[in-house]
Amino acid sequence: MILLYTTTGRQGYRYYQTAAGICQGCPLRAACTRAKKGKTITRHLWETSKEKAKYIRLTPWGKKVHKRRKETIERSFADAKQHHGHRYAHFRGLQKVQIQCLLAATAQNIKKIALLVAAFYWFYLWLTGEFIRVESSFCSVKGRIGDQ
């Protein structure tokens, strides 16, 4: 069966149709289509990409990565919803809501940067030995809470 591209609809679907005379003599026509003009196939523009993504997701590597999604991506959305006002839109209008989302994403990124800087700082202190000196001077302070 030869399918010819006819058009793309507004919703992003491409329509392919057989030539009118091809289906007339086909023995499987009754099982395939009842249309007088011939068989029409509809495919979305992104269907090929979706099939590739599904294939990759079903590989062993894809299954392993997909399990970690809830720990990384979904966690970010949950944080935005819980702490940055993504439960409801606080403004009206697309532009104002986009600004709200961008500000929330900026706040999340600043928090990530602060955590990374702190981690590198503590690693640097540990690497240079400063961490041990700071800890030992803290422990030598007299009159700490709990000392009797």
Distance CA 19, CA 4 (A): 7
- pLDDT tens for each residue of 56-91: 999 999 999 888 887 777 888 888 888 888 888 888
Comparing CA positions, the residue from 25, 42, 23, 43 lying closest to residue 34 is 23
Domain ranges of the chain: 1-45, 58-142
- pLDDT tens for each residue of 7-18: 999 999 999 988
Rounded to the nearest 5°, which phi and psi values hold at 140? -85, 0
37 near 24, Cβ under 8 Å?
no
Q: Compute CA 146 distance to the chain's CA centroid, rounded to the nearest angstrom.
A: 49
Strands (E), 9-133: 13-18, 40-44
Give the residue, 117 or 127, on which the prediction is more confident. 117
Comparing CA positions, the residue from 119, 110, 122 lying closest to residue 79 is 110
Distance CA 73, CA 66 (A): 10
If you count DSSP H runs as helices and E runs as strands, how many of each does the chain have, helices first? 6, 3
